[in-house]
Each structure stands twice: as structure tokens, then as C-alpha cells.
Amino acid sequence: MRERVEVVAPASTANLGPGFDSIGMALNLFTTVRVELAEETRLFFHSDSLAGLPTGDDNLLLQVMQKCFAEQGKELPPLHVHVWSDIPLTRGLGSSAAALAAGLVASNALLGEVYSSEDLVQLGTAWEGHPDNIGASLLGGVVIGSWDGQHASVVRVESPPLDVVVAVPQFELPTKRARSALPEKIPFKDAVLSSSKANVLTAALITGRWDLLDAAMCDILHQPYRAQFIPGMTDILNTARDHGALGIALSGAGPTLLAFTREKTKLTRYLKDAFTRYGVPVSILHLKPWDTGAVVRLTEPRQTCTVLRKRDNRPITTSEGASS
């Protein structure tokens, strides 16, 4: 068994509007997990945003690693687990899915690569209950998938060559609370319209029809019900197109809003002003879609979380691209 493994996993956005629980996209914010064989299991959090997370057996990372080992009829050995992350927690940017992906890949490396990437997607989706965030963090790019309760069907495509601007309100919105607002039933005509929009969104992402993003990302399935938690959300979604957004949607369960754009300066100014009008402190991040999923890397002494930008091979750190 390997004695030390370090994994870098990207953040993700889910839904992109109508692709509820089925469309996800990786983003260039990262969680890094380093695991080392030790005499006793301990967790070490090295980012301020991780303060307060569980450090015992109820920790997500330990639970998923125990599951991976148990599936192979083995017991998870004592480990020191070190975690760094620049993904905001409970903001709709897939922080838990990134941790889950890192745990899956790290466990697989310790076990000697006994799981295929497809196996990891199945394990991760069974854990999450939907393939959007976990699929994106494991595979990178854009994932389109479904989960029938037994098996995940997931297709990965390259991510769009567009800038991404995210507005992160400075309050948490737990996924459980956001889901509690959703109705048990919706009118049939709404289901048909939502399905058609998700189809068009998928086709637009694959074919590069960015002119269709504005209409395709206008959701009626879940966003109207979650708007109550985010002051100004409905107004911003309806008017951002006039300020540089090619398409805009709630990121995952929120409260973050995510937009594709080619005018990030103009859109940033609008989002800051709009949230200010509604009295909501907000951070604006300038991000990129990310085509590389969770990966094992060499484990020299850690300086910064450095990875390679896939498109131009330029080294970046996990903090690059973020502004507020």
C-alpha cells in the first residue's frame, strides 16, 4: 500500500438552470487532500473556511474512504488526513462533492487503483444521490447524467471556452434547506418546458451555440421556489443579460449566482451594484470552466496548490482568478 497520496479536486456548479440534478460543470477552485499512513487517524484542516468541520468518524472524507475500503473487504488504516480548500462552503459551488471526489481518488490510489473511473462515478453518485457535482469533480468538464437509484448514466463533454463570473453572497444556504422549498408536484406543462430547456442547454453547450444560453438557462423547475432565500435573485436573473451575461443561473442550491460571459468587467460591476441595492454583501469571483477532474499528484513538501491550466499549460495557484 502507498504510504502517502495527495489529490487535487475541482469545484463544480450544478444545474446551470434547468439541468436539475443532472448537469454539472467543473470550475477552477480546488480542494486538496493529502493522506499519510500513521499510527492513529487524525484530520488537519489548513484553510480558515474549513474551521468547525467534523474531525471524527462523522467526517465526510473519512466516511467515503471507509466505504471504498469496505467495498474491497478491507479496513481503512490509520491515517493523517490534511485538507486545504479555496471552495466556499455551503454556497452552491460543490465543496462537499470536491471533498468526496478527493476521498474516492485518494482511497483508490491507496488500494492500488482497484476502481476504474466509471466505478468511482458510480460510488460517488450513489453517495450523493445525483451525478452533477460529483461527476464534474471526478471527470472535469461538463457532465450530463442521470441516476435511477441503482445506476448512474453519465456523459462528459469539454467545457465551454467562456469566462465565468460568480456572485457569492456572504451567507450560507444549506442544500437541505434549499431543497425543502421545492414542491412535491409541478404542472405537466412546466415539466415539459423544463425538459425542453434542459435539452436545448445540453445541445448549446456541445455545439457552441452561446446565443441560446440566455433562454436555455431560464429555469422554472426549482429557481422560482428558491428565490425566497436570496434577496434580489429574480430581478438579477431577469436583467443580467443586459449587462454582459450570456446566460445566468443559480449555482447548485445557491445562494451563489453563476453567469457565462465575454464581458466580465461589465458584468462584475452590475452584480456588485445589484446585490448592494438589495443589501446583500457579495464576493465576485472570476473563474474558468475546468476540464481536469480529481487527480493524484506527486507529494513533495507542499508549498502551494499548483496545477496546470489545461488549455494553455500555464501554471496557476488555487488562489488565482479570484477577486472580490
Band of the pLDDT at 51, cuts 50, 70, 90? confident
- Rounded percentage of the chain residues whose pLDDT exceeds 90: 83
pLDDT at 299: 58
Closest CA to 67 of 118, 97, 95, 106: 106
Please determine, for residue 277, whether its predicted confidence score (pLDDT) is greater than 50. yes
The predicted structure's pLDDT at residue 91: 92
Could you identify the residue written with the cell 451567507?
A: 171
Cα–Cα distance measured from residue 85 to residue 195, given in angstroms and rounded to the nearest whole number: 35
Copy the grid coordinates of residue 52.
468547525
Q: Is the pLDDT of residue 301 over 50?
A: no
Residue 131 is placed in which grid cell? 451525478
Domain 163-287: which CATH number of 3.30.70.890, 1.10.132.20, 3.60.70.12, 3.30.420.80: 3.30.70.890
Place of cell 415539459: 192
Give the angle 266-256-204 at the CA atoms, nearest 5°.
70
Q: What percent of the chain has pLDDT over 70?
A: 91
Asked whether the predicted pLDDT for residue 8 surpasses 60, the reply is yes
Assigned fold of 4-158+290-317: Ribosomal Protein S5; domain 2 (3.30.230)
Sequence-separated (6 or more) residues with CB below 8 Å from residue 53: 45, 59
Domain ranges for the chain, please list them. Answer: 4-158+290-317, 163-287
DSSP 244: T
| pLDDT (tens digit per residue) in 104-144 | 999 999 999 999 999 999 999 999 999 999 999 999 999 99
Question: Scanning the structure block, which residue is given the C-alpha cell 474551521?
Answer: 51
**Helix residue spans in 208-284 (DSSP H):** 213-216, 223-226, 233-239, 264-277
pTM to 2 decimals?
Answer: 0.89
pLDDT for residue 318:
32
Same fold, 4-158+290-317 and 163-287: no
The answer on pLDDT for 300 being more than 80 is: no
- How much is the pLDDT for 58? 83
